[in-house]
Amino acid sequence: MKTLTGKELAAAIRVQAQAEAAAGGQPRLAVVVATDDEASLWYVRSIAKAAAGVGIACDLVDLGPGARPEQIDETLTRLSGDPGVHGVMLQTPLPPGASAQWLAAAIDPRKDVDGANPLSLGRLAAGLPAFAPATAAAVMALLDHHQVELEGRRAVVVGRSTVVGKPLAHLLLDRHATVTVCHSRTRDLAAVTSTAEVLVAAVGRAGLIGAGHVAPGAVVIDVGTNPADDGGLTGDVDFEAVAGVAGALTPVPGGVGPVTTALLLRHTARAANLP
Ligand code: NAP
């Protein structure tokens, strides 16, 4: 079984992001936050740190957990119109009553570096150029980096969120995989997932995917990040059990996560260089 780590790829993408950032003006990413959720704040701080490392300025625009939807909308609209800002991202969770999907429509698609605006998803679905959500793009980048053949192969994505499952299904289709998408109402999940030559789990349930869900030799990508008993992170895939069946498997942490952050930075550098 091959472990598909993401650290080496993430480092290579950061090098590209740095070169692209240096080629343009001063790229600037604005991350809008309206939460006091510690895990979320930790994530945005880690983005800011990684951005600084590749020469991208990163502003954390913290509206606080009591922010009203109109305030978030106004902030996204203002940042979208600011010529000094090249990438705009809306971090979840949001306060009750605020919908990320509705609010993300205020992000200029040319600055939508995390592919959150429904227009970006629509363009992806239509096969037109758009920024894909960084996590979905990270899964594709990992598959390519590890030279996983996609054309004509059976791919199963578990999870249909607009940030991971749906855009990923379109990206896989674009690469000529035969794609099935599963979700919470899928009957006999294991019967479907065990048909996959490439299986992606993007659910948010620790250990959901066990050995019985995986075909011998399958490539398994674990997008899930769930709190582990030891205070760290664990994926949706039961790593120990599935390692005995799969041909290749991503670890959590150290798989999709680092590639996601690196791609967000590369998207920002690209947004700054758009004609
Ligand atoms: P989400 O919006 O909560 O979507 C979860 C999806 O899983 C839904 O489509 C849901 O189905 C489906 N689901 C729930 N229970 C299921 C079950 N028992 N069997 C089959 N499908 C089931 O989550 P998300 O934002 O897509 O995130 C998914 C996971 O990825 C989370 O762990 C998140 O933390 C992680 N994530 C990681 C990164 C990274 O960079 N590594 C980035 C983003 C997200 P329904 O649609 O029917 O409800």
pLDDT tens string 148-166: 999 999 999 999 999 999 9
For residue 235, how far is its CA from the centre of ligand 1 (angstroms)?
11
User: Average model confidence (pLDDT) for the chain?
Assistant: 97
Q: 25: pLDDT confidence band, cut at 50, 70 and 90? A: confident
Residue 110 has pLDDT above 80, yes or no: yes
Residue closest by Cα to atom 41 of ligand 1: 257
Structure tokens at 12: 């290579």
- pLDDT > 90 in the chain, percent: 97
Domain 18-108, second-level architecture: 3-Layer(aba) Sandwich (3.40)
For residue 231, how far is its CA from the centre of ligand 1 (angstroms)?
20
For residue 241, how far is its CA from the centre of ligand 1 (angstroms)?
21
Structure tokens at 151: 């054309």
Classify domain 134-256 at the CATH topology level. Answer: Rossmann fold (3.40.50)
Give the nearest ligand 1 atom to 165 CA: 26
Q: With H, G, I as helix, E, B as strand and everything else as coil, classify residue 158.
A: strand
List Cβ neighbours of 225 (8 Å cut-off, separation of 6 or more). Answer: 204, 233, 235, 252, 253, 257
Residue 11 has pLDDT above 90, yes or no: yes
| Span 25-32, average pLDDT | 95
Contact (Cβ atoms closer than 8 angstroms) between residue 40 and residue 63: no
Residue closest by Cα to atom 39 of ligand 1: 257
Q: What are the domain boundaries of the chain?
A: 18-108, 134-256
- Measured CA to CA, the distance from residue 252 to residue 249 in angstroms comes to 10
Structure tokens at 248: 């290749």
Strand 2-3 versus strand 233-234 pairing type: unpaired
